[in-house]
Amino acid sequence: MPKRQPQRELIATLPKSDLHLHLDGSLRLDTLIELAKEQRVKLPSRTPDGLLELVFKRAYKNLPEYLRGFEFTVACLQDPESLERAAYELAMDCRAENVFYCEVRFAPQLHSSPEFPVKKVIAAVCKGLERAKKRINGAAGVRRGEMPRFECGVIVCALRFFLPVFSAQYRAYFEALPSAPASEIYALASLELARAAVAASEAGLPVVGFDLAGQERGFPAKDHLAAYQLAHDHFLGKTVHAGEDYGPESIFQAITDCHADRIGHGTWLFDTRHIRDRSIKDKKAYVDRLVRYVADRRITLEVCLTSNQQTIPELRKDLRKHPFKKMRQSRCSVALCTDNRLVSRTTMTDEVHKAVDTFKLDARGLKDVLIYGFKRCFFPGSYADKRNWVRSVLNYLEDQMLGAGHDVRGGKR
């Protein structure tokens, strides 16, 4: 007799995490419209319905169309008040659907200028998150221990590729080094950002990790080795967008050269067709060894189903082609994430329900996936505190599932 799958109503009540969550892709629509009006940023429409029709769609034709929305959101996040507000609202939106932990990532250099340096950009986002955390954890239910406390952290994100027009900060790099190869400028920018991240973390701000995003093809992660070595030397968590639009060797480079603890997306982990390195003769053997390496070292894969479906043509019509099932069968550590709540028009409840519905997860499988997100987060505290907190989350999850008729106690730890 097949095991009963959890329903969406139950999923909405369960404790969830979101480890791959971009600030500039997750604004509230009303906030975007209000900020655009205040800052005189021209939008294609001034109404939520208009923006959903013209910019933030259910389905996109290609990656450039998907990325178009970021032009407007980033333009509206160029001062401390806007960034603090966006971070605060994002944390509150997460908690409203029982996300008890989120890591908000963003590229500070997209928002900085000579008058608004990177350290103040980071501080503004941290301030918004901390304000939300204080409000959430001040609720009676949390204070009485009836539910886990809310936790959050910031991941600063470097870019593999940028142009001078992206921001005043990036323009300054090109102007200061007019004769330098572009790859050296990208590397310098990421190293400076890593230094700012380390300084913020050591000053007590909840900066927990370092990330690298952007086009993989032609812009290898190894160019940013110095930045990642600095983050590694100072005990920051490391994650890299890899295997999203390039092959398995991009993932291997991220976990070796960049010391990645987690991989953003990792969609092509199993796909020999996407191996471009001609020195790899036996592609299947290479993939088998890579998968074993990733699984054995618990390098967590941050899976964003809706986002992948919107940007990868072969997944649009049939999400069953996504390697999520293979990842689980290979015993990889997998965490479900939203990527961009606004741009992808999704929530964590949507993502988890999509996984349950598409891949027929039963209650125990769902529990395992949910708990990986908490266990593999870059928790902003001591290991002892993290263990106690994860235990409180696990107890709450099991109680919720038991109350709905799913007894999952005694499962994997």
Is residue 9 annotated as a catalytic residue, yes or no?
no
Residue 83's Cα: distance from chain center in Å? 17
Q: DSSP letters of 177-208? A: -TTS-HHHHHHHHHHHHHHHHHHHHHTT--EE
Give per-residue burial for 96-117: e unless 16+ CB within 10 Å, then b: ebbbbbbbbbbbbbbbbbeebe
E strands in 245-395: 262-265, 300-303, 334-336
Q: Give the whole-angstrom CA distance, residue 38 versus residue 75.
A: 12
DSSP code for 268:
T
How many CB atoms lie under 10 A from the CB of residue 144? 8
Q: Give the whole-angstrom CA distance, residue 186 versus residue 295.
A: 31
Residue type, 6: P
Helix (H, G, I), strand (E, B) or coil at 85: helix
DSSP code for 221:
G
| Catalytic choice (103, 244, 302, 351) | 244
Q: Quick one: 193 exposed, middle or buried, by C-beta within 10 A (0-12, 13-18, 19+)? A: buried
Q: Which residues are catalytic?
A: 244
